[in-house]
């Protein structure tokens, strides 16, 4: 590496944009070339001058802008809403009760005996629906698995697997604590286009098989337009619920089941 | 039902970057009275295109939309000067090489360490918009060349050369201002 190369790479170097190998080569040259070393130092000092003033130079949005943008968005949202959309806010509780009843009623067999699987299926569907109705989809909103996963620390007695699949069209949008089958569970919320997916996870407990799912075979069922998949893997129970069509949701399930990460 | 939650998700994921959006717009539009309107328009466009948002980085995605909206405004209002008004070659104090680097003195020796942010602000305002935006996105938002490339729709190599020239011009302007202060 010669001085001409260095001059070409000054800014990339001081901005830490170069790979390790190139940086090492540059540093080797700088140790032997005081002219280039001086150059780099000068440019770095100028960079630091701006950086040290960055806080004062940064222009934050005025308070009223936030308010105006929010109401403009709400207006746009209202204008874009489909004519037959039910307004969940007004009368939301009443509708929630009715819908829960329908969901539970349909999944349970006619003669009233509910298997464990059916019971769990009812619960996760209710939980999914309730989270959307009560506007309580997530407690932590982030697409970054390194933000969502640690959020569960201290709130759960296990560490749920959290992965983002934006590249495959399933974006992690957040996480939430939920309560299913008499225990705290992790709910990871994903979005595919306009559909929400709730992924529930909790540890399998051989001591309490009533809480466990069917086993490593993926079971799937649908109820009231919701597709549900469940399985057990590596000591963890998984339930996936969404109004997304079953084939697409199955794609998502396959991603989750992939062992290699 | 899904439509209702589009707004909720948008508010959670995109609204946190309102300051970044305003900062970029303010620097591109020289704090023109229309700045807030342009930002609002950017957010409405972002909301319209939100279904197409697949990535991880809402800030980069949003800033690309803000940048586009600002440049459209600049073009419409005849404020876009892509030729640099600042003639780098006639400066006698320093010279600029073929890479756009200028050999000015160290800011320490020029006692520019205490340069007020007002001085810096004035200097930044003088940069041509295509240099200014790269400097702002790099120094104030801390974005990588790759991210700036996505926002400006230019290759990373162009980002680097505009950054080099933008920094170079900034240094010229600040050295000039400093000398004038010392004399006058």
Nearest residue in B to A68, CA atom: B40
CA A145, CA B56: separation in Å to the nearest integer?
10
Partnered with residue A242 across adjacent β-strands are A197, A227
Quote the pTM value: 0.57
Write down the pLDDT at residue A221: 65
User: pLDDT tens per residue, chain A (261 residues)?
Assistant: 889 989 889 999 999 999 999 999 999 999 999 999 999 999 998 998 898 889 889 999 999 999 999 999 999 988 876 444 343 444 444 444 444 444 444 444 333 445 666 777 778 888 888 887 766 778 888 888 888 888 888 788 888 888 889 889 999 988 988 888 788 899 999 999 888 899 999 988 765 555 555 555 566 666 667 888 888 888 888 999 998 888 888 889 989 887 544
Alpha-carbon distance B7 to nearest alpha carbon in chain A (angstroms): 7
What would the pLDDT profile of A84-122 be if each residue is shown by its tens digit? 434 344 444 444 444 444 444 444 433 344 566 677 777
> B 116-135 residues with CB below 8 A of A?
117, 120-121, 124, 135
Alpha-carbon distance A188 to nearest alpha carbon in chain B (angstroms): 14
Nearest by CB to B5, which of A42, A57, A132? A132
Q: Could you report the predicted ipTM of this complex, rounded to two decimals?
A: 0.82
Vertex A188 angle, CA A184 and A190, to 5°: 155
Chain A, chain B: beta-carbon pairs less than 8 Å apart? 160
- Residues of chain B contacting residue A39, judged by C-beta atoms under 8 Å apart: 101, 103
CA A63, CA B36: separation in Å to the nearest integer?
11
- Tell me whether B110 touches chain A (CB under 8 Å): no
Q: Is A183 helix (H, G, I), strand (E, B) or coil?
A: strand
Strands A171-180 and A183-192 turn out to be antiparallel
pLDDT band for B4, please (50, 70, 90 cuts).
low
Cross-chain Cβ contact A11/B160 below 8 Å: yes
- Tell me whether B48 touches chain A (CB under 8 Å): yes
């Amino acid at each position: 590496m010669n001085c001409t190369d260095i001059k070409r790479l000054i800014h990339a170097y001081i901005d830490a944009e170069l790979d390790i190998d190139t940086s090492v080569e540059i540093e080797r040259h700088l140790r032997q070339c005081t002219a280039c070393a001086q150059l780099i130092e000068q440019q770095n000092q100028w960079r630091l001058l701006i950086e040290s003033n960055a806080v004062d130079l940064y222009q934050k949005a005025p308070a009223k802008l936030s308010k105006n943008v929010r109401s403009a968005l709400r207006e746009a949202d209202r204008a874009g809403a489909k004519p037959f959309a039910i307004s969940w806010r007004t009368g939301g509780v009443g509708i929630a009760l009715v819908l829960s009843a329908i969901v539970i009623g349909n999944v349970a067999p006619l003669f009233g005996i509910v298997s464990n699987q059916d019971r769990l299926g009812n619960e996760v569907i209710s939980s999914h629906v309730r989270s959307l109705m009560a506007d309580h989809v997530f407690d932590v909103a982030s697409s970054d698995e390194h933000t969502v996963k640690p959020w569960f620390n201290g709130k759960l007695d296990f560490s749920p697997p959290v992965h983002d699949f934006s590249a495959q069209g399933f974006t992690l949008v957040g996480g939430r604590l939920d309560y299913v089958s008499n225990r705290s569970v992790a709910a990871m919320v994903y979005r595919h286009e306009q559909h929400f997916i709730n992924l529930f996870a909790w540890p399998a407990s051989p001591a309490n098989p009533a809480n466990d799912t069917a086993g490593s075979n993926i079971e799937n069922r649908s109820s009231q337009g919701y597709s549900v998949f469940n399985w057990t893997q590596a000591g963890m129970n998984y339930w996936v619920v969404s109004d997304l069509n079953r084939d697409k949701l199955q794609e998502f399930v396959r991603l989750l089941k992939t062992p290699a990460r | 039902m899904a439509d209702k939650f589009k707004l909720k998700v948008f508010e959670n994921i995109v609204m946190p970057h309102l300051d970044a959006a305003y900062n970029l717009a303010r620097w591109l539009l020289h704090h023109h009275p229309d700045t807030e309107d342009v930002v609002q328009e950017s957010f409405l466009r972002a909301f319209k295109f939100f279904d197409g948002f697949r990535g991880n980085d809402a800030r980069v995605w949003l800033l690309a939309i803000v940048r586009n909206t600002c440049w459209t405004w600049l073009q419409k209002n005849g404020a876009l000067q892509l030729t640099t008004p600042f003639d780098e070659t006639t400066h006698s104090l320093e010279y600029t090489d073929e890479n756009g680097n200028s050999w000015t003195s160290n800011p320490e020796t020029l006692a520019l360490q205490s340069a007020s942010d007002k001085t810096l602000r004035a200097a930044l305002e003088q940069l041509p918009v295509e240099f200014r935006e790269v400097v702002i996105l790099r120094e104030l938002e801390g974005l990588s060349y790759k991210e700036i490339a996505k926002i400006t729709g230019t290759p990373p190599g162009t980002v680097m050369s505009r950054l080099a020239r933008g920094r170079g011009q900034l240094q010229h302007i600040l050295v000039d201002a400093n000398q004038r202060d010392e004399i006058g």
